Structure 1
């Protein structure tokens, strides 16, 4: 029997860490790794994608939806470069991902050879662990440390592997005298279990007990702590406000939640933030500090797994470093139940009115069809355990507001990086991780076209994803930011229309088109019930704005300035907004 190669050792150690799937594209810089993967294809699945960026997105989504290590693979030079955007998505959202890249021949590195890109240098910012393999005897140790570091530090690890070293027999490698065989622990891994000091927990309880109007802000770090979060809300009489990555932390039918926060949040959430005197932040470092209590307004307690993220957005009086659920379990026995429920009741009343408004927007029958209608009809028809992946852009507003989350469902998107093009790769990864669950991508036409080849990936791998494309033939978010944030006319945002139904069928999938809001629900139901990958092209009003929960005077002034300066279709835009506002007032 021949000696295992260095690439065989890499793959065997990945399997020891429980890796079952790797996303990537073959290339001559990783031929040795591809051969090692071929040998174990019955136990370790290689998922070929159409673009390495999608492979990194899929690894990030796999980590988000499963809590396990996501792995992606790219060849030397451009392959490794293409991975970077998806890897930054993982870095900024704190997801454990391992990127494996090739390099050309080890003894020609930095000699101006083909694809001579030092990817280990390029990855210095994105990776928490970053190494180039120096020989066959080096592989086992760095692979184990890469997996361990990515999981422990919830970040990106990177292994750069010269192509000739990949195929070298391990027996031929030179082991240094200090590198004793079997000296390092391999797949054993101790997850963080530390709890904050008792004095800090007591201090946090004291702050919360003294509060009269307590609000709770949760993020993705609280996704697995629903029971404890709800118990805290009940004891404190506090509304639960959800950062977008924490959308599925508490179902939207809970009497405690006021939904999202920020530009795509709800009015009751914003009002709770503006009026609270105490804020409990759980598993979030929500980046938009302008929506948090002003300095001096509220006393703040923050729980976060990463102590470095505590106190980034507003002054924090007490920081508790640790897992959200574990910290809450030691904190809750010290929290006194508040008899005054008026602050929570005020938020509940506001939410009842808010949901009436969302229903009104989601059931309109005028044409062109409103994007809210598509989201509303989709939300009503999702399976109880559906997984919904959203893209960045105006679609994130409809995703946040018009698709209520139910217990058992999962929702995610590119949170902190807010990159475009992640939605469909996320859905593909979710379908691979959960073959028996309904997996839906909710995307805009601009974002979809960036990586539209990944629909062919779904067809190739028989992934029955459903892709809902909100088609307005524009880069909508940028259009509105140009107008409302800067007061400039929109420029450069118009998109060439594409027949997405024809594209889906050309790839070997199915396609449906929706233009009439009266037929929207029925067509969505038909598409969701259709086997295999499906595209739903929903043609919507391009002039429908993603309105913030409260319009500031400066935003209104900038909008008026943009119209006066000559925004294209300015009369249609103004009329649409005026009609929307009149309907809501009536």
Structure 2
């Protein structure tokens, strides 16, 4: 059988090192799927139950491996379904390639079946977006798509009309300007580093500071040793954006943990008191938690020049790979007394005591913190933990401690729901044998619940922990605390997720009492095969900010006065939480 355009594309992806693809078939990609079938010994196809999950799985795969995540979908609705996951990749700057079909090339724009112009639809989400026009075009497009996804850290999209997928490979229509085999694969390790004079200028700013705070994000994940040395040298605490949670172990003496509504009080204190800020690999969006304008000098290390000065005024911007920049910067720094760091360490002792108290409570209904606090004790030192968006992100961020070679991620800037389970699919496929856990809410899990069957189909060792409170918890508290309104539209019809898991072929568990949490979680993690643990928790337990503002207090009081459901229970819960905090 003669080689077809789809074969060219699949073979070129393999040459680029692609060995895994997530997707869902359809008649708009039948030709492409035939090429996947005939090359299945070199490129593994993982069939999900919804295209959105394919895109999320590709993002998770990219985040946990640093390699290109690849997903595919059919024409029309299949391509539309990919979009949310692709926007997650865009917002968190992950290299992802989406391959979609299209209707017949000579019927495009003719209102034929599934004639959705995905090229136009993907214009905003992509850094590269091209339709394959024939066999002499195919390899060029693949090469450009892959190198652009890596180089610009974003989404590339290849659209292949249905008939062109099955065209025989031929040079009959090759333009003479399109020299055969002119395009090459590319792999260059990052060595970007700013000029030495600029590095010295940054060092001067840092050396002049007395209270230095270090703020790290995802771009510093490969820099654990360098960041620790930086904190030790300048005597300053390391505050972590959530995507940078794994930069340092959470019990490192150099870190105060996360920042913001789901961060720690010592991190807020460090930002409020510092006179110098070093930002490394983060474009953390919540500017209200950063030092106030004019309060602190700022040095920012960022590989993307467009992110320099995006969130905070910058005195010196260092564009380059964080590890390389820090390696050049550290010898220029003068050791400082660690008074500011010691103050943060003392505060962290109190914070950890508070988290221990909240995570070991015996109240009924069970508190959600009990679940993640107990889980933390049972995780392997190389576990991969994914979180969904919502209050579960708070419980996971505060009670799951990074240690060893653990990895952690969630949907950062997009903050979408439903990413947690597909992220774990990507992680489990990439790292068979490692412990993979996702912590999700009942709202997020229900959106892509069919992916439990994907875990079963591929025998993926994933433990899904669903915090079940029958409410969209984050939205509920936002309506009250941020808007001053009673909750509305957030109650969920209960689902028995343990029964759903059993129906899909996974092992289902239920926890309702805190004294049962450790035994059930231990059994679920030890089970050979996918598991789902539904933890039934108190819907009135708020994700308390590290430090509560006066405005938040006033909005909360306003919501209660306007008829918030279960107001007395909520007041009692918050009152007890604050009482324990004071004690």
Superposed counterparts of 1:375-414, under 5 Å: 375-414=372-411
Residue 110 in 1 paired to residue 109 in 2?
A: yes
2:28 is the alignment partner of 1:39: no
Cα 1:70–1:173 shift into 2, 3 Å: farther
TM-score by length of 1: 0.99
Q: Show the counterpart of 2:147.
A: 148
- 1:487-522 CA-to-partner distances (Å, cap 9, x unmatched) read 000000000000111000000000110011011111
Would you say the 8 A contact 2:468–2:536 is kept in 1? yes
TM-score under structure 2 normalisation? 0.99
Say if 2:136 and 2:171, in contact at 8 Å, map to a contact too: no
Alpha-carbon distance between aligned partners in 2 of 1:534 and 1:4, rounded to the nearest angstrom: 43
Against the structure 1 CA distance between its residues 132 and 173, is the aligned structure 2 distance closer, same or farther, given a 3 Å change threshold? Answer: farther
What residue number does 2:272 align with? Answer: 274
1:466 counterpart residue number: 463
Corresponding residue for residue 222 of structure 2? 224
User: Deviation at 1:45?
Assistant: 0.3
Cα deviations across residues 254-301 of structure 1 (Å, max 9, x unaligned)?
Answer: 100000001100000000000000000011111100000000000000
Distance in 1, matches of 2:446 and 2:222, equals: 34
Q: Counterpart of 2:475?
A: 478
In the alignment, structure 1 residue 331 sits paired with structure 2 residue 350: no
CA drift of 1:584 comes to 2.3
After TM superposition, give the deviation of residue 191 of structure 1 in Å.
4.0
The alpha carbon displacement at 1:172 in A equals 6.8
Q: Is 1:98 equivalent to 2:91 in the alignment?
A: no
Distance 2:187 2:144 in 1: 10
Match of 1:258 in 2: 256
* Distance in structure 2 (CA, Å) of the matches to 1:181 and 1:522: 63
**Residue-by-residue CA offset, 1:13-39 (whole Å, 9 max, x unaligned):** 000110000000000000011000000
- Give the counterpart of 2:348 among 340, 351, 361: 351
Q: SS state of the match for residue 513, structure 1?
A: strand
Q: Is the 8 A contact 2:427 2:436 kept in 1?
A: yes
Equivalent residue pairs, number: 583
2:205 to 207, 213, 225: 207
Distance 2:119 2:349 in 1: 53
Asked whether the 8 Å contact 2:192–2:324 carries over to 1, the reply is: no
1:365 and 2:362 are equivalent in the alignment = yes
Task: Judge conservation of contact 1:250–1:407 (CA < 8 Å) in 2.
Answer: no
Q: Does 1:495 align with 2:492?
A: yes
Tell me the distance in 2 between the aligned counterparts of 1:300 and 1:278. 6
User: Counterpart of 2:291?
Assistant: 293
Residue 176 of structure 1: CA displacement? 1.5
Task: Say whether 1:432 aligns with 2:401.
Answer: no
Please list, as runs of the form range in 1=range in 2, the aligned pairs for 1:437-456 lying within 5 A after superposition.
437-456=434-453
Task: Say if 2:226 and 2:323, in contact at 8 Å, map to a contact too.
Answer: yes
CA distance in 2, matches of 1:64, 1:93: 9
Cα distance in 2, alignment partners of residues 463 and 173 from structure 1: 46
Say whether the 8 Å CA contact 1:152–1:191 is kept in structure 2.
no
Q: 1:507 aligns with which of 498, 504, 507?
A: 504
Q: Distance in 2 between matches of 1:154 and 1:176?
A: 31
Unpaired runs of 5+ residues, structure 2, are none
Superposition RMSD in Å: 0.8
Cα distance in 2 for partners of 1:136, 1:375 equals 52
2:537 aligned partner: 540
Say which of 187, 193, 196 aligns to 2:194.
196
1: CA distance between counterparts of 2:168 and 2:74?
Answer: 21
Cα distance between partner residues in 2 of 1:257 and 1:584: 21
Tell me what 1:233 maps to: 231
| Aligned-partner Cα distance in 2 for 1:61–1:206 | 39
In structure 1, the residue corresponding to 2:70 is in which secondary structure? strand
| Cross-structure match for 1:86 | 85
